[in-house]
A and B are shown apart, each in its own frame.
Chain A
Amino acid sequence: MARAGYDGAVLVAPFTEPYSRFSNESAHWWIARALRGSLRAAGLGPREIDGFSVASFTLFPDTPVALTQHLGLSPRWLDSVPMGGASGVVALRRAARAVQAGDADIVACVAGDTNPIDGFRKLLSAFSRFALDASYPYGYGGPNASFALLMDRYMQEYGASRADFGHVAVAQRANALKNPHALMKKPLTLDDYLNARPIAEPIALFDCVMPCAGGEAFLVMREDRARALGLPFARIRATIERHNAFADDPIQLRGGWVVDVDELWQMAGMGPQDMDLVQTYDDYPVISVMQFEDLGFCAKGEGADFLRARDLTIAGDLPHNTSGGQLSSGQAGAAGGFIGLVEAIRQVTQTAGPTQVADAARALVSGFGMINFDRGVCSAACVLEGGA
Chain B
Amino acid sequence: MTEPLAPPPKKNPQRRTRLPTLPPAMRSRAGLGLALAAGQGRFALQCCAECGAVQYPPRDACHQCLATDLQWRDQPTGGQLLAETRIHASPDPYFRERLPWRAGTVQLDAGPVVLAHVHGDVAREARVRMALRLDRAGQGVLMALPERETPHMEDDPMLREMGTHPRHRRVLITDARAPEAEPLARALLDAGAAHVFLGLAEGWRPFPACERIEAIEGVTLHPLDVTDAESLADLAGSIGGKVDILINNARHIRPGGVIGAALHDTRDALEVGALGLMRLAHAFGPAMRARGADGVNSACAWVNVLPAQALAHDPGFAGAVAAGAAMRALSLSLRAELRAGGIRVLHAHAGPIDDEWHQPLPPPKLAPAALARAIVQGLEQGLEEIHAGDVARDLAQRFAENPALLAREMEGGA
Contacts and interface: CB of A to CB of B under 8 A. Distances in A.
Given A139-B87, A199-B88, A251 B24 contact: no
Contacts of A146: 115
B57 A141 contact: no
Contacts of A373: 57, 115
B84 A149 contact: yes
Nearest to A121: B91
Interface string B23-48: 11011101100100000000000000
A250 B107 contact: yes
A136 B27 CA distance: 10
A230 interface: no
Contact of B115 (A134, A156, A198): A134
B83 A141 contact: no
Interface in B197-255: none
Nearest to A126: B26
A90 B100 CA distance: 38
Interface size class of B (residues with CB under 8 A): 35 or more
Nearest to A248: B113
Listed residue (B91, B125, B141) with the most chain A CB atoms within 10 angstroms of its CB: B91
Contacts of B101: 139, 141
Contact of B87 (A144, A197, A374): A144
Nearest to A128: B57
Nearest to A134: B57
Listed residue (A124, A125, A130, A247) with the most chain B CB atoms within 10 angstroms of its CB: A130
A140 B115 contact: no
Contacts of B105: 149, 153, 250-251, 374
Given A145-B103, A250-B107, A250-B113, A133 B87 contact: no
Contacts of A384: none
Contacts of A121: 91-92
A138 B28 contact: no
A134 B88 contact: no
Interface in B72-104: 82-92, 94-95, 100-104
B28 A132 contact: yes
Listed residue (B30, B63, B85, B115) with the most chain A CB atoms within 10 angstroms of its CB: B85
B235 to A, nearest CB: 37
B57 A149 contact: no
B23 A137 contact: yes
A203 interface: yes
Interface residues of A, number: 40
A183 B105 CA distance: 33
Interface string B10-23: 00000000000001
A135 B92 contact: no
B57 A140 contact: no
A268 interface: no
B348 interface: no
B159 to A, nearest CB: 14
B27 A149 contact: no
B31 A133 contact: yes
Interface in A145-180: 145-146, 148-150, 152-153, 156
A200 B89 contact: yes
Interface in A95-130: 118, 120-121, 124-126, 129-130
Interface in A186-207: 197-203
A17 B373 CA distance: 66
B135 interface: yes
A296 interface: no
Contacts of B31: 129, 132-134
A305 B225 CA distance: 75
A247 B64 CA distance: 11
A201 B88 CA distance: 8
A140 B90 contact: yes
A142 interface: yes
Contacts of B26: 125-126, 132
Contacts of A138: 103, 115-117, 141-142
B85 A200 contact: yes
B85 A132 contact: no
Nearest to A244: B63
A287 B63 CA distance: 26
A374 B113 contact: yes
A139 B24 contact: no
B28 A133 contact: yes
A116 to B, nearest CB: 13
Contacts of A374: 105, 113, 115
Contacts of A250: 82, 105, 107, 113
Contacts of B82: 153, 250-251
B141 A200 contact: no
B139 interface: yes
Nearest to B24: A136
Contacts of A120: 91
B114 interface: yes
Listed residue (B31, B83, B102) with the most chain A CB atoms within 10 angstroms of its CB: B83
Nearest to A129: B28
B56 interface: yes
A137 B139 contact: yes
A202 B115 CA distance: 17
B88 A137 contact: no
B324 interface: no
Given A124-B91, A134-B57, A251 B113 contact: yes
B3 to A, nearest CB: 21
B58 interface: yes
A140 B23 contact: yes
A129 B30 CA distance: 10
15 contacts: A121-B91, A121-B92, A133-B30, A139-B101, A140-B23, A141-B95, A141-B101, A142-B90, A149-B84, A149-B105, A156-B125, A199-B89, A203-B85, A251-B113, A374-B113
Given A134-B57, A199-B88, 11 more contacts: A125-B26, A129-B28, A138-B115, A139-B103, A140-B24, A141-B87, A141-B89, A145-B85, A145-B103, A198-B100, A247-B63
What are the 4 tightest A-B residue pairs by CB atom distance, in nearest-first order? A133-B31, A140-B92, A148-B85, A121-B91
